Amino acid sequence: MKLQDAKIIVTGAAQGLGFHFSKRLAEEGASVTAGDVNEEGLARLASETSGAKGKVFTRRLDVANEADTAAFVDFAYEKMGGLNGLVNNAGILRDGLLVKVDRETGKVQKLSREQWQQVIDVNLTGATWMVRDVVSKMVENGQKGAIVNMSSIARHGNRGQSNYSAAKAALATNTKTWSHEFAKFGIRVGAVAPGMVETPMTQGMNQKARDGLVAMIPVGRIGVPEDIWLAVKFVLECEYFNGRTIDVDGGLSM
């Protein structure tokens, strides 16, 4: 896919990686429809990309709302005059140990169903509905293209992230599944799995835990959004890449 010909949806686009991906796509000349629940962030994205080669359209999007994803895809198709790609980036964290003992009271505490379900609803179910609705629209209109799912190296398992790890592992697995299902339509599916990257999400981490993780990265630094963009760009542009997940983690082993 040539990026100047791309008409791509980016989810979770109001900050962090999604914001960066949207800007870089627009700079390459792509048309982008950016969605997020954070409308203030979307307004900032629209402002910062107003002079780009490509056009950026924005609309509020809650990927956990099934009706919202379908309406958003219709909106994107109409605004861009077509649709040939998705960067499936929206995600949240609700970390917590499945079972722990309170240090002060000695009481056994359990991960709440709400913590579990919120992450699954956004990071897995919402991501799945986005793929379903985007591919459905592309197939209806005979358009080929590519899907990029944002997984994570946490898919291999990470303490305190049962919900997040499960969702990201499933998304990586379904990248393979969907690559087989959609091949007959000329639609490729790839995934990118970031390690630690400098975003608002990681900036909210406990500082001691953050420092410990950074110390484990062989390249000696935390990643930046541009590192991950290079992998996303590769998946979109390389017509021979399909059904695989690329780890971009500086060599970190969780």
- The single-letter code of the amino acid at 8 is I
pLDDT on residue 208:
82
Helix (H) or strand (E) holding 187: strand 187-194
Collapse the DSSP code of 85 into the 3-class scheme (helix H, G, I; strand E, B; otherwise coil) and give the result: strand
pLDDT for 254 equals 65
Amino acid code (one letter) for 177: T
Mean local confidence (pLDDT), 189-210: 85
Catalytic: 77? no
Token digits of residue 232: 């996303």
- In this predicted model, what pLDDT tens digit does every residue of 123-165 receive, in sequence order? 999 999 999 999 999 999 999 999 999 999 999 988 999 999 9
Domains detected in the chain: 3-247 (3.40.50.720)
Q: Sign of dihedral through CA atoms 194, 227, 82, 42?
A: positive
Question: 164, 178, 182, 229: which is the annotated catalytic residue?
Answer: 164
Does residue 147 contact residue 171 with C-beta atoms inside 8 Å?
Answer: no
